[in-house]
Amino acid sequence: MQGVGTGAGAVGILATTEEAQAQANVSAMGPAAVPITLTVNGKPMKLSVEPRETLLDTLRGKLDHTGAKRVCDRGTCGACTMIVDNKVQYGCTILAIDAQGKKIETIESLTANGKVHPIVPAFVNHDAQQCGYCTPGFVMASKGFLDKNPNPTYDQVKEGLGGNLCRCGTYVGIRKAVLEAAQALRSGKSVKGANNA
Ligand code: FES
Ligand code: FES
């Protein structure tokens, strides 16, 4: 018993020493706001955030990028989907301070500078939204999916968008929209708007 107690004590001291060393190597941030720079849709933006703030809340509350929606706020619904360093991500699961130095793409980028990404009119053509809360997340998940899968099948689209939920049940329209946008991107032709189709 004595031996066991000594061993456990030694492990405890070791862990404490390692923790102390780790803490000594990490500079503390917060809880007050700290200055950061985020690169959003190609533009560097300077601001201050509390280290606990998510990228989603920062974009919506401080940078006037309100396209991404805050629904579950716990990484389960996909309404806050954006693309960070070419990866589809939930903005509510990333801290803003951790997004420094990364390329952040939001839904606002899909209609910037007079150019409209084909996924936008394709969603309209296929009635791929009802209440619209999930829609920005689905649009960004679709964009990220198409960046990596230019010629998908219906089933691949279904699987590729599996991280997003729609309570209104617009799944079929969304999948068809992705297929239409994929075809437009491959052919270089634009997707005609719903009213012009
Ligand atoms: S709000 Fe981020 S996943 Fe639901
Ligand atoms: S359109 Fe209502 S949640 Fe998807």
CA 89–ligand 2 middle distance (angstroms): 19
| DSSP label of 103 | E
The pLDDT mean for the chain works out to: 90
**Closest alpha carbon to 144 in 130, 126, 164:** 164
**Ligand 1 nearest-atom number relative to CA 69:** 1
For residue 147, pLDDT over 60 is answered with yes
CA 80–ligand 1 middle distance (angstroms): 5
pLDDT of residue 12: 55
**Ligand 1 pocket test: which of 92, 106, 107, 134 has the largest number of ligand atoms within 8 Å of its C-beta?**
92
User: By the 8 A CB rule, do 130 and 170 touch?
Assistant: yes
Query: Ligand 2 in contact with 164 (CB < 6 A)?
Result: no
Sketch the domain layout of the chain as residue ranges: 34-106, 116-187
pLDDT of residue 42: 97
Distances (CA, A) of 185 to 147, 167, 182: 10, 29, 5
Q: What are the pLDDT digits (tens) for 85-140?
A: 999 999 999 999 999 999 999 999 999 999 999 999 999 999 999 999 999 999 99
CA 103–ligand 2 middle distance (angstroms): 27
**Ligand 1 nearest-atom number relative to CA 91:** 2
CA 129–ligand 2 middle distance (angstroms): 6
pLDDT of residue 13: 56
Q: Give the CATH H-level superfamily of domain 116-187.
A: [2Fe-2S]-binding domain (1.10.150.120)
The pTM assigned to this predicted structure is 0.86
Domains 34-106 and 116-187 share a fold: no
Q: Which CATH number fits domain 34-106: 3.50.50.60, 3.10.20.30, 3.40.50.720, 3.40.50.1000?
A: 3.10.20.30
37: three-class secondary structure by DSSP: strand
Q: Cβ < 6 Å from ligand 1: which residues?
A: 70-73, 75-80, 90, 92
The vertex-81 CA angle with 76 and 87, nearest 5°, equals: 110
| Residue minimizing CA distance to atom 4 of ligand 2 | 166
